[in-house]
Amino acid sequence: MSSLQQAKDTKTRTFTVILHWQEDIYVAECPNVGTASQGETIEEAIKTVFRRVLAC
């Protein structure tokens, strides 16, 4: 089952994601669960932090 399907099958949750530019990369932080990720694009950073949030 894909992570997107798992998200659809669970209750709705709301998380805050803080995005910022750090030197040459986008950083996405989710203080609600204490995780962060990075990406070359905003979309990549958000996608990666979303996966980490689902894994928590």
Distance in angstroms (rounded) separating the CA atoms of residues 48 and 56:
13
- Looking at 1-56, list the stretches that DSSP marks H as alpha helix, in order from N- to C-terminal side: 3-9, 42-55
Task: Express each pLDDT in 8-48 by its tens digit.
Answer: 666 778 889 999 999 999 999 999 999 999 999 999 999 99
Distance in angstroms (rounded) separating the CA atoms of residues 40 and 42:
7
CB count in 10 Å sphere of residue 32: 13
Task: Express each pLDDT in 47-56 by its tens digit.
Answer: 999 999 888 8
> Residue 39: beta bridge partners?
26
Q: Please state the pTM of the whole predicted model.
A: 0.72
